[in-house]
Amino acid sequence: MTQGPAGPWSALLHPLSWVYGPLSARQIRRKQQRAVRVNVPVISVGNLAVGGAGKSPFVRLLVGWLQEAGHRPAIAMRGYGAANPNEADEVREHRLACPDVPVLAGPDRVFEIQKAQREGVPFDCVVLDDGFQHTQLARDLDVVLIDGTRPPVQTTTLPAGWLREPAIGLQRADAWVISGSMGEDDQAATAHLAGQPALAEVRAVWQGVHTVQGEEVSVQGKRCVVMAGIARPERIREALVEAGGIVAAMPPLADHDPISAGRLDQFRALSSEADALVLTAKDAARLGDRLQGWPVPVWIPQLALEVSSGEAALRQRVLSVLQ
C-alpha cells in the first residue's frame, strides 16, 4: 500500500476511509441514475485518484485529434480554485493552449453546456475534463487516466489513501489509460479490476524551457526558484535537475490555491538571489500581468504528452464516438 495524502498519518485514517468509500460510491450511483444527456457526444476524461495524472494535457491531446478529424470540440470543466470558475488556473491554461476551443466552466456542467448551445457557441462535441465522478452528465465514452506510480490496487479511498471512490469504480470506465509507467504486476491487477487491459500508455516528455515569449533557453548551471502549484510538483524539480538546472528554492504551493500578494512577494525576494523564476504554464496563466517587472527572467518548462503505446486504438476509440 502506498501512503495517502496524509503521509505517515495515513494508517490512522483508515477507519474514516471505510466510511468515505461507500458514501462516495453511493453518491456517484445516485447522480448516475439522474444523468442528463446533452445533444452532442460527450467524451469524459477522469481519474480514480486525487492528484495529477496528466488529465488536462490528455484532454488537449484528444481535442487536437478531434480537430484534425474535422470536428469542433468544446472543453467542459468545474474550474477549481477560483470564486469565478472562468478565472480558474486550469481554465486559463486551456484557453491559452487552445484559443479556438470554447472552454465551458462551472460546477453544473450540464447547465454550462446547454447555456452555450442556446447562445450559439459553435461546437459539435464535448471533452469533459476531470469528469469520471461527475456522473450527472451522461457521456458516450468514459476514459480513466491512471497514474502508473499510484495504481488503484495499491491504495485506498480518502483520507487514508488517494482514491476519490473505491477502486471497483474503475469498472464503470469504457477504457483506461496508463500515465507514466506501471509495473507488470500492478498492470495485471488493475486490468483484472477494470475487466479489461489498458487501452494505451501516455507519458510526459520534457521539451526544454522557454521564456514567456516562447524562446528556448538553457537551464544548465542556472540557479532557479521554482513555482509549481500542481498536484505533483516533484516532477518539475526532477526534470529541471535532469536538464542541468539548480533548484535554489521551491516553496510549497498547493494545487489550485490562489497566490496572495504576500506569497508572491516571497517568490520575488527569493528570485532576486537566483538566475530565473521557473514556473508551470498553469501558474503563469493564473498570474498573468502580475509577473511583469519580475527581477529575473521568467521561464516556463515545456512538457508534451506523448502516446507511447496504443495510439491507433485510442484514437479510433475516441473518433468512433462521433461516427
160-185 pLDDT tens trace: 888 999 999 999 999 999 999 999 99
Res 95: pLDDT: 95
Res 216: pLDDT: 95
Please provide the CATH number assigned to the domain covering 7-198.
3.40.50
Res 2: pLDDT: 58
Please provide the CATH number assigned to the domain covering 205-304.
3.40.50.2300
Res 98: pLDDT: 96
Among 5-14, 68-77, 80-89, 293-302, name the one with the lowest average pLDDT: 5-14
Q: State CA 133 to chain mean position distance.
A: 14
Strands 42-46 and 125-129: parallel
Q: pTM for the full model?
A: 0.87
Whether 124 has a pLDDT exceeding 90, the answer reads: yes
Contact in structure between 301 and 206 (CB atoms under 8 Å): yes
Q: What is the pLDDT of residues 243-282, one digit of tens each?
A: 999 999 999 988 777 789 999 999 999 999 999 999 998 8
Provide the mean pLDDT of the chain. Answer: 91
Cα-based distances in Å from 174 to 89, 124, 130: 29, 21, 15
Strands 216-217 and 200-211: antiparallel
Whether 81 has a pLDDT exceeding 80, the answer reads: no
Q: What is the pLDDT of residues 30-44, one digit of tens each?
A: 777 889 999 999 999
Whether 308 has a pLDDT exceeding 50, the answer reads: yes
Whether 85 has a pLDDT exceeding 90, the answer reads: yes
Helix (H, G, I), strand (E, B) or coil at 175: strand
What residue ranges do the domains of the chain occupy? 7-198, 205-304
DSSP string, 99-152: TTS-EEESS-HHHHHHHHHHTT---SEEEEET-TT-TTB--SEEEEEEETTS-G
At 155, the pLDDT band (50, 70, 90 cuts) reads confident
Whether 130 has a pLDDT exceeding 60, the answer reads: yes
Q: Biggest alpha carbon distance in the chain?
A: 57
Among 5-9, 288-292, 306-310, name the one with the lowest average pLDDT: 5-9
Higher pLDDT residue, 248 or 230? Answer: 248
What is the mean predicted confidence (pLDDT) over 144-170?
A: 89
* DSSP designation for 287: H
